[in-house]
């Protein structure tokens, strides 16, 4: 690494050189940039979108909001920032989160180092110079000692391969790639395909606009009411006072990076009445922490059944038509084994006379004609179609970049049978290439900002450590990676998660290997593992010192 890093930005024709190239200007890329600049490193961030914000730039569908509470779904690295920013609601709507991302970019003077509307198309490791050659969509080549992939876990929107879809004459929207202009469904007949989180947030809003709404459901999902509300100044102030403890708990103690009352017993330790009272209380409080009612809901089928039955009962209470209620009740996976949804009026929306639930579980969608969706032998005529069909999660965005490590091997080839990483941070054979919230880390099972900050801090410390010892390259060893992959898998197998065909398992993408991708050990445990590895001199990583030296370990 250069001695005077900031001086290492070099321009030569269509080439430039930086210490670090960061891919993506969402919450991960922005915080990474902030830390790199504070270390005096030269960095360039490339972002394919027209602004910062990542997932909050693309996911603009009606009703989009974060289902982690605003006061917690926010950066903790700057106390001034968390004290001065006023979240307006318990769960911030997408435009406000985007505004926050823009505010951060400006407040910390990040914009001069971010190049928008530019895709990173390839990154090739040059073994001669031990640096990365990054190619971008504007035809430039950028050389960097390090590359940090901050591409997001849910950023590669997936359009399903449904017969006739290209011939549909009306407008087609994907929730994960929503237009930037206002979309108005007033007076239209609308079809929504999918019933995951994005659909569950958008359906109640679309139903209030559309003349008719058809919801095509292949798998019902469990959803908990958000109980969203405006935040008062007093509520914000009260929360700000306890921020040190909130942030500490989220980082060190919580499994999912969220400050909440932790469970103290298993579901079967309570009798029927006490259990019911506890679920009622969690249901009334609303939100993702419903699953924290007991400590074994995701470990034990019998315990899980009690929570799943409770939610199925609620659906039956809310939905007036008994057949619709039955179809909305999930029955093929444990509650929480697919990402639990958080909604405002989702189930009640099916009581509206203009909303029809179409069960496509048996045969899926047969085809889409120019004016209709055909399912169960029937044509549902529509003017607009919303695909709430999810993402090629965790690996999809990385696979779109032509990443080549040692010996020209591509990351895509290496991960053909499933992603392999050490700690979700690096993959063997790809030196100086870091992934933020990569597969094999808690990432999507946590409050993403907590996991992002942890990874960025770890990477920043690692770079400083290397610089202090004149270490040029770092990469995961094969043995450490194999052990970590086995550990991630073993921890997952001890839970109920693998029982669901979820995107966590890659099950939503035809042909994608079925491997549980995130690390379930919990963010506190995971942080301690990462810190311990660093404190012991980065065990499991091979380091090479000196210019273009053969790889030799400089630490254990
Ligand atoms: O996507 P999903 P999402 N024919 O994959 C269906 C995060 N998020 O965008 O289950 C018919 O969950 C598919 O059916 P099935 C959150 O982590 C966060 O909703 O495969 N249907 C499913 O119902 C979330 O988990 C927020 O049978 C088809 C749906 O489409 C993740 O993003 C908000 C189909 C896809 O659901 C993804 O959520 C929103 C086909 N060919 C999202 N293909 C926050 O608030 C797919 N489906 C933070």
Going residue by residue through the chain, which has 556 residues, state the pLDDT in tens, using 9 for 90 and above. Answer: 433 334 345 666 667 899 999 999 999 999 999 999 999 999 999 999 999 999 999 999 999 999 999 999 999 999 999 999 999 999 999 999 999 999 999 999 999 999 999 999 999 999 999 999 999 999 999 999 999 999 999 989 999 999 999 999 999 999 999 999 999 999 999 999 999 999 999 999 999 999 999 999 999 999 999 999 999 999 999 999 999 999 999 999 999 999 998 899 999 999 999 999 999 999 999 999 999 999 999 999 999 999 999 999 999 999 999 999 999 999 999 999 999 999 999 999 999 999 999 999 999 999 999 999 999 999 999 999 999 999 999 999 999 999 999 999 999 999 999 999 999 999 999 999 999 999 999 999 999 999 999 999 999 999 999 999 999 999 999 999 999 999 999 999 999 999 999 999 999 999 999 999 999 999 999 999 999 999 999 999 999 986 544 344 343 3
* 199 alpha carbon – ligand 1 mean position (Å): 7
Single out the residue of 435, 432, 430, 540 nearest to residue 482, CA to CA: 540
Give yes or no for residue 365 CB within 6 A of ligand 1: yes
Single out the residue of 301, 529, 338, 524 nearest to residue 423, CA to CA: 529
26, 257, 389, 447: residue to mutate for ligand 1 pocket, most atoms within 8 A of CB: 389
Alpha carbon of 381 to those of 44, 366, 374: distances in Å? 48, 14, 9
55, 70, 201, 218: residue to mutate for ligand 1 pocket, most atoms within 8 A of CB: 218
- The CA-to-CA distance between both ends of the chain, in Å, stands at 20
Please state, in angstroms and rounded to a whole number, the distance separating the CA atoms of residues 195 and 214.
12
Please state, in angstroms and rounded to a whole number, the distance separating the CA atoms of residues 417 and 409.
15
Q: By CB neighbour count within 10 A (0-12 exposed, 13-18 middle, 19+ buried), where does 10 fall?
A: exposed
* 361 alpha carbon – ligand 1 mean position (Å): 15
Please state, in angstroms and rounded to a whole number, the distance separating the CA atoms of residues 541 and 505.
27
Please state, in angstroms and rounded to a whole number, the distance separating the CA atoms of residues 52 and 34.
13
Give yes or no for residue 397 CB within 6 A of ligand 1: no
Copy the structure tokens of residue 521.
């050990």
Single out the residue of 77, 72, 73 nearest to residue 55, CA to CA: 73
**Which ranges of 427-477 would DSSP assign to H, the alpha helix?**
448-468
Give yes or no for residue 198 CB within 6 A of ligand 1: yes
Residue whose entry in the numeric block shows the structure tokens 């933020």: 436
Ligand 1 atom 16 nearest Cα: 197
Q: Is there a contact between 337 and 301 (Cβ–Cβ < 8 Å)? A: no
* 84 alpha carbon – ligand 1 mean position (Å): 34
DSSP letter, residue 263: P
Phi-psi region of 31 (alpha: psi -120 to 50; beta: other; left: phi over 0): alpha
State pTM to two decimals: 0.95
Ligand 1 atom 24 nearest Cα: 197
* 179 alpha carbon – ligand 1 mean position (Å): 18
DSSP letter, residue 298: T
Please state, in angstroms and rounded to a whole number, the distance separating the CA atoms of residues 476 and 533.
12
* 158 alpha carbon – ligand 1 mean position (Å): 10
* 373 alpha carbon – ligand 1 mean position (Å): 19
Number of H helices, E strands in the chain: 16, 21
* 453 alpha carbon – ligand 1 mean position (Å): 26
Please state, in angstroms and rounded to a whole number, the distance separating the CA atoms of residues 213 and 385.
10
Give yes or no for residue 218 CB within 6 A of ligand 1: yes
Give yes or no for residue 197 CB within 6 A of ligand 1: yes
Give yes or no for residue 344 CB within 6 A of ligand 1: no
Q: Is there a contact between 42 and 10 (Cβ–Cβ < 8 Å)? A: no
* 194 alpha carbon – ligand 1 mean position (Å): 6
**Which ranges of 68-194 would DSSP assign to H, the alpha helix?**
79-84, 94-107
Strand residue runs (E) in 331-470: 341-343, 355-359, 367-368, 372-375, 378-381, 384-387, 402-404, 433-435
């Amino acid at each position: 690494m250069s001695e005077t890093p900031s001086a290492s930005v070099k321009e030569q024709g269509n080439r430039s050189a930086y210490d670090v190239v960061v891919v993506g200007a969402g919450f991960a890329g922005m915080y990474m940039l902030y830390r790199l600049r504070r270390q005096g490193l030269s960095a360039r961030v490339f972002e394919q979108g027209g602004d910062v914000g990542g997932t909050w730039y693309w996911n603009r569908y009606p009703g989009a909001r974060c289902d982690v509470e605003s006061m917690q779904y926010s950066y903790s690295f700057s106390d001034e920032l968390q004290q001065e920013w006023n979240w307006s609601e318990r769960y911030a709507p997408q435009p406000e989160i985007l505004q926050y991302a823009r505010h951060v970019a400006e407040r910390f003077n990040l914009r001069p180092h971010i190049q928008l509307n530019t895709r990173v198309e390839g990154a090739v490791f040059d073994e001669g110079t031990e640096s990365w050659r990054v190619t971008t969509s504007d035809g430039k080549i950028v050389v960097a000692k390090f590359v940090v992939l901050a591409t997001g876990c849910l950023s590669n929107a997936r359009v399903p391969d449904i017969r006739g879809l290209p011939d549909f004459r009306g407008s087609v929207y994907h929730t994960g790639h929503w237009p930037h202009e206002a979309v108005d469904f007033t007076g239209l007949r609308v079809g929504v395909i999918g019933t995951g989180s994005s659909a569950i947030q958008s359906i109640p809003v679309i139903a209030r606009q559309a003349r008719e709404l058809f919801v095509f459901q292949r798998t019902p999902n469990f959803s908990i009411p958000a109980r969203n509300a405006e935040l008062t100044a007093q509520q914000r102030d009260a929360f700000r006072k306890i921020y040190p403890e909130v942030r500490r708990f989220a980082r060190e103690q919580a499994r999912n990076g969220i400050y909440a009352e932790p469970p103290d017993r298993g579901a079967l330790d309570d009798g029927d009445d006490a259990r019911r009272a506890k679920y009622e209380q969690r249901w009334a409080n609303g939100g993702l922490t419903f699953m924290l009612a007991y400590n074994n809901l995701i470990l034990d089928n019998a315990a899980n059944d009690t929570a799943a039955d409770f939610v199925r009962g609620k659906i039956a209470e809310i939905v007036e038509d008994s057949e619709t209620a039955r179809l909305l009740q999930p029955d093929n996976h444990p509650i929480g084994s697919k990402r639990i949804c958080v909604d405002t009026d989702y189930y009640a929306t099916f009581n509206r006379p203009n909303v029809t639930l179409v069960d496509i579980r048996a045969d899926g969608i047969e085809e889409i004609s120019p004016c209709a969706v055909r399912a169960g032998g029937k044509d549902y005529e529509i003017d607009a179609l919303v695909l709430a069909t999810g993402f090629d999660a965790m690996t999809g965005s990385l696979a779109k970049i032509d990443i080549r490590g040692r010996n020209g091997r591509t990351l895509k080839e290496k991960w053909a049978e499933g992603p392999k990483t050490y700690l979700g941070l690096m993959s063997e054979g790809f030196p100086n290439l870091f992934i933020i919230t990569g597969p094999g880390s808690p990432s999507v099972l946590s409050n993403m900002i907590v996991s992002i900050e942890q990874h960025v801090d770890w990477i920043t410390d690692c770079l400083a450590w290397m610089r202090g010892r004149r270490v040029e390259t770092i990469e995961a060893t094969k043995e450490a990676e194999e052990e970590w992959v086995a550990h991630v898998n073993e921890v997952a197998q001890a839970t109920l998660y693998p029982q669901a065909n979820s995107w966590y398992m890659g099950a939503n993408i035809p042909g994608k290997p079925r491997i549980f991708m995130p690390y379930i050990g919990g963010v506190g445990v995971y942080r301690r593992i990462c810190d311990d590895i660093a404190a012991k001199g980065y065990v499991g990583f091979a380091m090479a010192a000196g210019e273009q030296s053969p790889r030799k370990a400089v630490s254990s």
